[in-house]
Amino acid sequence: MTTAHVDPLVARMRPFGTTIFAEMSALAVRTGAVNLGQGFPDTDGPPEMLAAAAEALRTGQNQYPPGPGIPALRAAVAAHQRRFWGLEYDPDGEIVVTAGATEAIAAAILGLCEPRDEVVCFEPYYDSYAASIALAGAVRRPVTLRPGPDGRYAFDPDALRAAFGPRTRLVLLNSPHNPTGKVFTADELALVAELCREHDAYAVTDEVYEHLVFTDAASGHVPLATLAGMRERTLRISSAGKTFSCTGWKVGWVSGPAALVSAVLRVKQFLTFVNAAPLQPAVAVALGLGDDYFTAFRDGMRARRDQLVAGLTDAGFEVLTPEGTYFVTADVAPLGGRDGVEFCRSLPERCGVVAVPTQVFYDDPEAGRRLIRFAFCKRPEVLTEAVARLRRLGTAR
């Protein structure tokens, strides 16, 4: 047999097909449905940022930037974290710019995990986590988030304790959490921190939704690195995509103690080397915008959350109100759905809307069998139209 007849893909990547986001966005384009599947905003980010990018393109900032990122962006990332979370990072050595949060996550796992090392993560998890862990030859130890009677997703503390063991290298924590919209509570964060300290494990935190926390708690978002003993063992990851509505720019960053950040940089330099030269100064401008920008961004998104939560409830779904992110999950059972994948595949034809089944983000798909996710980072009139279409589901039954 010639190699032409054999799947050339390495075994560790074979379990990973096309991402659900690509599949569902293609379905939306093919059917002309309203796309509340893949999470991307349908309006542009702050004009100051866009102008700065155009200016950088015109003024010759089009060649390789420095490996760790341009100094202005690293300084802006440091100032932003000091301003909002009281965290101090040295722009020279403790911050590296990456090709989106996605590259930061991949480089962190590839840079820290030996084959067979274990990574504790919470399922449902963002789909790149499993692939990055597999590429490193590491093993994921998922802890399941389940909706409780209070409508909040929570995990069993004993399950988290049991997931940590002698081979645990790191915990991968995403709060606010995609796809559930969960914001980890102070007690939950404290337990994660306690277990990291007890097992001498690192934490890699994906905080791309740091500015989208809707709870009334005065503290808002709480980075794990602010907890006792955590800064020295945590790599904090964020990106411009969500906060500044520029998901296609793929400008992210990682912050942490120099030794950890240097491990990320060592890998990152051979993945992309550098990225997005003219966009880096523009993101630096955005990070320096006044508090009013960040407050208006959050409040605007909270209003859309309320709009979509009310609309979905009205359309007959059992809705789990998110405390953060721009996603809402819902159970399809009240509408006669038994399986989220089936439900989402037929939704465009039934009523012209695209959503994403969340069961594909679990190792144990049963735990999310009937749950689907809608993105609400869309103009209010688009959400109104989507809800009007979804209401037909109830009447069509």
Phi, psi of 78 (to 5 degrees): -65, -45
Of 318, 329, 334, 321, which Cα lies nearest the Cα of 360? 329
Residue 174 contacts which entry, ligand PMP, ligand GLN, none (Cβ below 5-8 A, type-dependent): ligand PMP
Rounded-to-integer distance, Cα 234 and Cα 140, Å: 18
Instruction: State the minimum distance, in angstroms, from the CB of residue 34 to ligand GLN.
Output: 15
- Which x/- pattern, by CB under 6 A, does the window 3-32 give for ligand GLN? ----------------x-x-----------
> Residues in the site for ligand PMP, rule: CB under 6 A?
100-102, 126, 174, 178, 206, 208, 239, 241, 247, 250, 252
Residue 21 contacts which entry, ligand PMP, ligand GLN, none (Cβ below 5-8 A, type-dependent): ligand GLN
Closest residue to ligand PMP, based on beta-carbon distance: 100
**Nearer of residues 38 and 329 to ligand GLN, judged by Cβ:** 38
Instruction: State the minimum distance, in angstroms, from the CB of residue 93 to ligand PMP.
Output: 22
Residue 19 contacts which entry, ligand GLN, ligand PMP, none (Cβ below 5-8 A, type-dependent): ligand GLN
**Nearer of residues 19 and 185 to ligand GLN, judged by Cβ:** 19
The size of the interface with ligand GLN (CB under 6 A), counted in residues, is 5
CB atoms under 10 Å from CB of 89, counted, come to: 24
**Nearer of residues 21 and 84 to ligand GLN, judged by Cβ:** 21
**Nearer of residues 34 and 104 to ligand PMP, judged by Cβ:** 104
Instruction: State the minimum distance, in angstroms, from the CB of residue 143 to ligand GLN.
Output: 20
Q: Is 39 in the site for ligand GLN (CB under 6 A)?
A: yes
Q: Is 38 in the site for ligand GLN (CB under 6 A)?
A: yes
> What is the binding site for ligand GLN (CB under 6 A)?
19, 21, 38-39, 178
